[in-house]
């Protein structure tokens, strides 16, 4: 199993790359190819759009690569996602793609294009407290489809997204079909009023209303309101599910943390 | 001219209400009816949804009211906008509605429903430095359609929105038709990477791509990036306009500030 790491959003930290390489050497069940693009910096991004796109397309086209692992989130994969899918080489279709957070733009578009994608921990997570377990979980699933890495209550088909990322890809060419999907969402570093607004936007979508249910992962690092919002994140999500006629399926074991589980975007018709 | 003030989002401050009442008494060209709902508080909001909705519908239905002035922004008008438009009383159609920021949800839905709406300063702006001029500008336009209150470069039809609000109403029942519109946007208290992401979302919309042009108002209180984003707000907006084939029309004289100008959502077919 040869796993390539590229950074379609922000720069991967060297310490994270070193930690993940050390873990892989220890395991001995896979090989890691860390693309040098991961360490570039261009303002907010891990290199200019063209450079991030070229690195992504290079590993997509490489028939010796079995899986593409997105280095980290941040912001920026949406800027190259559509171009990554243009004139796709055949070898791109025989790989698995994994990441979360901002990488959700790629997961959405690649899944829509028929490729195998999964929400799951990323190399940069090695720097979190307890992050080794997250990295091991991701590799356990990539290398041997270890079921213990999976979010435990998944119904097929399933998808997982950061709420803000999901809201931002509605109406874009990256928007997948949510019909019958177990749709897991999580959020980080937002005000509760913004989460309420984003849920308004999300649940107004006719496509999202065709989901089987919405489940709520962890909502972390909630930014303070000048006055208390008045309800909590679960009440917000339940309220908008009720208003829009979407089933609310309870909490989900995903989030911007070391406990984040793997959610393969399984396709019903496979 | 009888102007009713209601608060579909957050609570109006008493000092702002008092200041605006004093200005109106001084002018002597209009009468202000400040609905007591403006001073309610329920968590983040100026009273529960049902109470804010009832106050809004009450002034909409009142034939003695000539204009409805939204007290302030914050967040929350989206939660009642659709219900405000249901079974609309005839008297609601013969008024002007004014506000900005979060009130954009109402401006969008009311304009779509055929009513006369305008982006413009709100009573709470009285508390800004120089805010008296903003309040006077709003009243000058509401009472006597003073052209000096208008954003100076408007082409008809025009609309103005906070960028995040506009992005959040795409795909909802509030989304108006942007065909041929001079579309003015502004932003406040967001990271530049979030503004880039929101522009990605906005300019992916086929409806938005039918706008005549996009113009950029002020982008205020930009939140710091941990690394510098690399470009500025105007470069971001120009970039997404270029990518999406929308004409960029330069800067606009609107924003979350005392200089904010009035933008009537004129309809081409009037």
Closest CA to A165 of A231, A109, A210, A221: A109
B197: closest CA of chain A, how far (Å) = 7
Model confidence at B74, pLDDT cuts 50, 70, 90, reads: very high
Predicted ipTM of the assembly: 0.96
Q: Is the pLDDT of residue A234 over 70?
A: yes
CB contact under 8 A, A76 and B229: no
Which helix (H) or strand (E) segment holds residue B185: the answer is strand B182-188
pTM, two decimal places: 0.97
User: Which residues have C-beta within 8 Å of that of residue B50, sequence separation ≥ 6?
Assistant: none
Reduce the DSSP state of residue A251 to 3 states and report it: strand
CB contact under 8 A, A200 and B168: yes
Q: How confident is the model at residue B270, as a pLDDT?
A: 39
For A144-165, how does the pLDDT look when each residue is reduced to its tens digit (9 = 90+)?
999 999 999 999 999 999 999 9
CB contact under 8 A, B44 and A230: yes
Q: Is the pLDDT of residue A238 over 90?
A: yes
Share of chain B above pLDDT 70, in %: 99
Q: Is the pLDDT of residue B269 over 50?
A: no
Average pLDDT over residues A75-86: 97
Q: How confident is the model at residue A267, as a pLDDT?
A: 57
- Name which of A41, A168, A170 is nearest B197 (Cβ-Cβ): A168
> Cβ contacts (< 8 Å) between A202 and chain B: which residues?
none
Closest CA to A186 of A73, A268, A267: A73
Q: Is the pLDDT of residue A268 over 50?
A: no
Q: How confident is the model at residue A3, as a pLDDT?
A: 98
For A213, counting Cβ atoms within 10 Å of its Cβ (0-12 exposed, 13-18 middle, 19+ buried), the class is middle
Beta bridge partners of A70: A6
Average pLDDT of chain B?
Answer: 96
The alpha carbons of chain A give a radius of gyration, in whole angstroms, of 18
Average pLDDT of chain A?
Answer: 96
Instruction: Please tell me the distance from the alpha carbon of residue B178 to that of residue B162, in angstroms, as a whole number.
Output: 15
Q: How confident is the model at residue B268, as a pLDDT?
A: 46
Closest CA to B82 of B60, B58, B113: B113
Q: Is the pLDDT of residue A226 over 90?
A: no
Average pLDDT over residues A66-89: 96
A28: closest CA of chain B, how far (Å) = 36
Choose the weakest-confidence range: A259-268, B94-103, B177-186, B215-224: A259-268
On whether the CB atoms of residues B4 and B24 are closer than 8 A, the answer is no
On whether the CB atoms of residues A234 and A251 are closer than 8 A, the answer is yes
Instruction: Please tell me the distance from the alpha carbon of residue B230 to that of residue B236, in angstroms, as a whole number.
Output: 10
Residue A155 sits at φ, ψ, to 5 deg, of -110, 145
Q: How confident is the model at residue B227, as a pLDDT?
A: 83
Model confidence at A269, pLDDT cuts 50, 70, 90, reads: very low
Q: Is the pLDDT of residue A29 over 50?
A: yes
On whether the CB atoms of residues B61 and B89 are closer than 8 A, the answer is yes
Model confidence at A270, pLDDT cuts 50, 70, 90, reads: very low
For A160-203, how does the pLDDT look when each residue is reduced to its tens digit (9 = 90+)?
999 999 999 999 999 999 999 999 999 999 999 999 999 999 99
User: Which residues have C-beta within 8 Å of that of residue A70, sequence separation ≥ 6?
Assistant: A5, A6, A7, A8, A9, A77, A97, A98, A99, A103, A106, A122
Q: Which of B:143-172 have CB within 8 Å of A?
A: 164, 167-172
Q: Is the pLDDT of residue A227 over 90?
A: no
Chain B CB within 8 Å of residue A44 CB: yes
Q: Is the pLDDT of residue B189 over 70?
A: yes
Between the alpha carbon of residue A140 and those of residues A21, A22, A101, A158, B138, the distances in Å are 15, 15, 20, 19, 62
Q: How confident is the model at residue B267, as a pLDDT?
A: 57
Average pLDDT over residues B54-76: 98
């Amino acid at each position: 199993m040869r796993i390539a790491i590229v950074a379609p959003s922000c720069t991967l930290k060297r310490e994270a790359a070193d930690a993940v390489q050390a873990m892989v050497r220890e395991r001995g069940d896979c090989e890691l190819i860390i693309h040098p693009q991961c360490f570039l910096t261009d303002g907010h991004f891990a290199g200019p759009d063209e450079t991030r796109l070229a690195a992504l397309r290079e590993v997509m086209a490489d028939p010796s690569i079995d899986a593409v692992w997105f280095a980290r989130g941040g912001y920026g994969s949406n800027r190259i996602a559509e171009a990554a899918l243009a004139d796709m080489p055949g070898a791109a279709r025989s790989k698995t793609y994994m990441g979360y957070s901002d990488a959700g733009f790629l997961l959405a578009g690649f899944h829509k294009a028929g490729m195998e994608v999964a929400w799951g921990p990323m190399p940069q997570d090695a720097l979190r407290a307890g992050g080794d377990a997250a990295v091991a979980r991701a590799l356990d699933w990539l290398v041997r489809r270890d079921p213990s890495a999976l979010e435990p209550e998944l119904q097929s088909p399933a998808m997982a997204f950061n709420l803000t990322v999901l809201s931002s890809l509605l109406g874009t060419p990256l928007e997948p079909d949510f019909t019958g999907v177990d749709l897991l969402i999580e959020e980080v570093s937002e005000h509760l009023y913004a989460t309420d607004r984003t849920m308004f936007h999300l649940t107004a979508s006719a496509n999202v209303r065709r989901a089987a249910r919405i489940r709520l992962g962890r909502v972390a690092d909630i930014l303070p309101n000048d006055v208390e919002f008045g309800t909590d994140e679960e009440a917000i999500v339940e309220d908008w599910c009720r208003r829009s006629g979407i089933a609310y399926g309870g909490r989900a074991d995903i989030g911007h943390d070391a406990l984040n589980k793997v959610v393969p975007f399984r396709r019903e018709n496979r």
